[in-house]
Amino acid sequence: MSLALWISIVLANWLVPLVLSWAYILFAWIPGWIEFYRYAGGLTWAFDLQDEKVDNWYTRAWAGWGGFGAMTVVILRDRPSQSPGGRYTQILAHEVRHSKQVLCLGMIQPVLYMLFSLTLLLTSKLLKFTPDTHPYYDNPFERDARWAAGQQVNIPRSKWYRGPDDYWPWM
């Protein structure tokens, strides 16, 4: 493999998620669904969801989520004044960790995230090999982000967000 081809593959691995992350931010920022909140450190910039000002399909889709992290950008649902007991700080740290995961792994991070989740869903819900594992809570990327944020890493089945029989938290 030539050096030029190798360099272009490596650059594309980070350039594609960088462009897609900022395209997503522009998609939500232009209509006013999010606004810039603050520099979050490193290479990461934090944006704030404007669900108290805007009520549409986009802000309603955030119903069960605290934040979103991609390469160099984070979107947070709540501002510090709306998050009692340091919850904002934990969510910010959690999402910044996801941003760092993408910075380290590039395009392969979302692919691996999806593969881990699908494998956990298959083994827990469909095959019943590991019925107490969850495709979101037990995903290694989520466990790493919770650890980095000082959050509880092991989430017991009784504490699953939508109850002990919900294996699909994304819908």
Q: Residue 53's pLDDT is what?
A: 83
Q: Global pTM?
A: 0.86
Q: Residue 102's pLDDT is what?
A: 92
**Using CA atoms, how far apart are residues 76 and 95, in angstroms rounded to an integer?**
8
CB atoms within 10 A of CB 142: 22
Place of tokens 């938290």: 169
Of 114, 120, 21, the C-alpha closest to 69 is: 21
Look at phi and psi of residue 106 and say left if phi exceeds 0, alpha if psi is from -120 to 50, else beta: left
Mean pLDDT of each 10-residue bin along the chain, 171 residues long? 80 88 95 90 89 85 86 84 68 92 91 93 80 89 94 86 74 54
Q: Residue 25's pLDDT is what?
A: 96
105 three-class SS? helix
Delimit the domains of the chain by residue range.
16-103, 107-171
Place of tokens 């960790």: 97
